[in-house]
Structures are given as C-alpha cells and as structure tokens.
C-alpha cells in the first residue's frame, strides 16, 4: 500500500505557556527523521468570554524545495499557513 508520507520516522517536541489567565500559546515542532525537514506550528488562544475564544495559528514548513518533479523533502513542499478563528461554545 502506498503512503502519501515520505518517511516512517518522525519526532515531535512541543510545549505551551500561559502568558496571562486569558492568553496562552503553544509551539509544536514536527521533524521528519529521514529527510530532516521540519514543520513548526505556533498557536495562540485568547479567551473572549466564558463561552468564546479567539485562536490564531501559524504553520512554518522548513525543508528543501523541489527543483524537479521529484519530492526530496516532505515539508519542503508544504505551504506557509496562517489561520484565525473565533470559537463559541454553548
């Protein structure tokens, strides 16, 4: 069976920090141990009220960009991402 993933060995390191009682942030680094590319995810959550929060995410891929049709780095072909959302709970 073919897999869309280049490697089978990954490592991850992450953590979070509460900057204030209303704002916390997180960092996750996912490393492809075969081609040595990595993906860094930054996350911030701000509590707007008891039932709502504002979330901001950024994804930063690091790896070799393909020069031909051959993919040499899994995260080198991934796009930079920025996502903002408001979550409400009821």
Decide if 9 is inside a domain.
no
Domain with 21 in it: 17-88
pLDDT tens string 31-77: 999 888 999 999 999 999 999 999 999 999 998 887 777 777 888 88
Q: State the pLDDT at residue 69.
A: 78
Decide if 41 is inside a domain.
yes
Decide if 30 is inside a domain.
yes
Q: State the pLDDT at residue 34.
A: 86
Which are the contacts of 88, defined by CB distance < 8 A and separation ≥ 6?
51, 52
Q: DSSP character for 8?
A: S
Decide if 63 is inside a domain.
yes
Which bin fits 56, alpha (ψ -120 to 50), beta or left (φ > 0)? beta
Decide if 12 is inside a domain.
no
Q: State the pLDDT at residue 63.
A: 87
Number of domains, the chain: 1
């Amino acid at each position: 069976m073919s897999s869309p993933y280049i490697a089978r060995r990954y490592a991850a390191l992450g953590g979070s920090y509460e900057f204030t009682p209303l704002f916390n942030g997180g960092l996750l680094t996912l490393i492809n141990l075969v081609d040595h590319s990595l993906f860094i995810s930054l996350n911030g959550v701000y509590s707007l009220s008891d039932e709502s929060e504002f979330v901001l995410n950024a994804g930063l891929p690091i790896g070799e960009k393909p020069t031909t049709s051959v993919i040499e780095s899994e995260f080198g072909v991934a796009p930079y991402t920025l996502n903002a959302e408001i979550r409400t709970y009821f």
